[in-house]
């Protein structure tokens, strides 16, 4: 019996030793820190999950009162907080593969005037101008008709090798360049004021306004060229589910046929009583056209 006890003790002590060289089970593995790319993905997934859950709850609310109650109890995820974390991650890992996509996420999920928005956009354009991810911010560059954005769009067209990005940037550039159209009567009146009005201040104001008009006219001509380029070179590219060429054709038609002072196209349709009519039947009369639709 005395010999048996030490033998059993030796056997029990040997069991852990025999397992020492075996790989640990899943639940025994030490948790490895997530890579920067995985951290970015986790932040985006968490944001999307919270956003999805919020809208599911919001859509279930049947009355305005229920929706107001929900908004008091629960808010959608704070985009600014997520953007700040993602921006910090890209700044800590500027050369990572996920950086262009992450920076574009910040730009598209924050207000145009926000500090993080401007910072992310500047980094993206400075360090990743050739990245395909830049396509996500191209439409936003058309929100403001500023000389800086025009230069940025021209840089993207010239430096980014991606055909789709080039097409989107060309369309946005054309839309940005498009200003007010030529008004011959206003131009004639301004020139007459400059020539005939003796008041020096009035002459100066008229000259300045006329100069602004000429600048807009030049920009419109440049815009037409860019729209035509889109139709010719980027008909295969789509943006928001629509062909860039079709969007450009619509803009061109408006510029060439629907500007102030131009003859209105002949509209054919039915009135409220179902009677067919065409605009040319009312030539010489004052006509008010009211366009509306239902979805």
Q: What is the pLDDT of residues 141-161, one digit of tens each?
A: 877 667 777 888 899 999 999
Q: What is the pLDDT of residue 159?
A: 94
Q: What is the pLDDT of residue 260?
A: 61
Q: How far is CA 135 from CA 117, 161, 163, 235, in A?
A: 16, 12, 10, 17
Q: What is the pLDDT of residue 270?
A: 83
Q: What is the pLDDT of residue 75?
A: 82
Q: Is the pTM of this model over 0.85?
A: no
Digit-coded pLDDT (tens) for 171-192 = 998 888 875 444 555 556 666 6
CB 137, CB 121: distance < 8 Å: yes
Distance, CA of 184 to CA of 101 (rounded, Å): 47
Distance, CA of 137 to CA of 107 (rounded, Å): 7
CB 223, CB 255: distance < 8 Å: yes
Q: What is the pLDDT of residue 26?
A: 55
Q: What is the pLDDT of residue 217?
A: 56
Q: What is the pLDDT of residue 61?
A: 85
Domain ranges in the chain? 35-137, 141-261
Q: Which residues contact 170 (CB under 8 A, 6 or more apart)?
A: 157, 226, 229, 230, 233, 234, 244
Give every residue of the chain whose pLDDT is below 70, as ranges. Answer: 1-31, 144-145, 179-196, 200-219, 259-262, 293-295
């Amino acid at each position: 019996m005395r010999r048996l006890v030490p033998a059993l003790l030796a056997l029990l002590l040997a069991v852990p030793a025999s397992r020492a060289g075996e790989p640990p089970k899943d639940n025994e593995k030490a948790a490895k820190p997530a890579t920067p790319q995985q951290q970015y993905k986790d932040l985006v997934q968490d944001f999307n999950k919270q956003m999805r859950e919020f809208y599911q709850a919001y859509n279930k609310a049947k009355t305005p009162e229920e929706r107001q109650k929900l908004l008091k109890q629960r808010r959608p995820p704070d985009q600014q907080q997520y953007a700040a974390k993602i921006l910090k991650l890209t700044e800590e890992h500027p050369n990572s593969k996920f950086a262009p996509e992450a920076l574009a996420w910040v730009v598209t999920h924050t207000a145009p005037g926000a500090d993080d928005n401007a910072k992310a956009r500047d980094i993206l354009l400075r360090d990743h101008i050739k990245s395909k991810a830049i396509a996500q911010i191209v439409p936003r560059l058309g929100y403001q008709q500023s000389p800086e954005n025009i230069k940025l769009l021209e840089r993207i067209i010239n430096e980014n090798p991606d055909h789709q990005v080039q097409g989107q940037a060309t369309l946005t550039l054309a839309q940005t360049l498009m200003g007010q159209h030529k008004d011959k009567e206003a131009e004639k009146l301004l020139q007459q004021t400059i020539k005939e009005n003796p008041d020096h201040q009035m002459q100066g104001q008229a000259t300045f306004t006329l100069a602004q008009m000429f600048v807009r006219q030049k920009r419109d001509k440049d815009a037409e060229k860019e729209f035509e380029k889109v139709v010719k070179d980027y008909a295969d590219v789509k943006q928001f589910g629509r062909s860039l060429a079709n969007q450009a054709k619509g803009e061109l038609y408006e510029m060439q046929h629907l500007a102030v002072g131009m003859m209105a196209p002949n509209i054919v349709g039915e009135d409220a009583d179902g009677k067919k009519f065409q605009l040319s039947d009312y030539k010489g009369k004052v006509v008010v056209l009211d366009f509306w639709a239902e979805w």
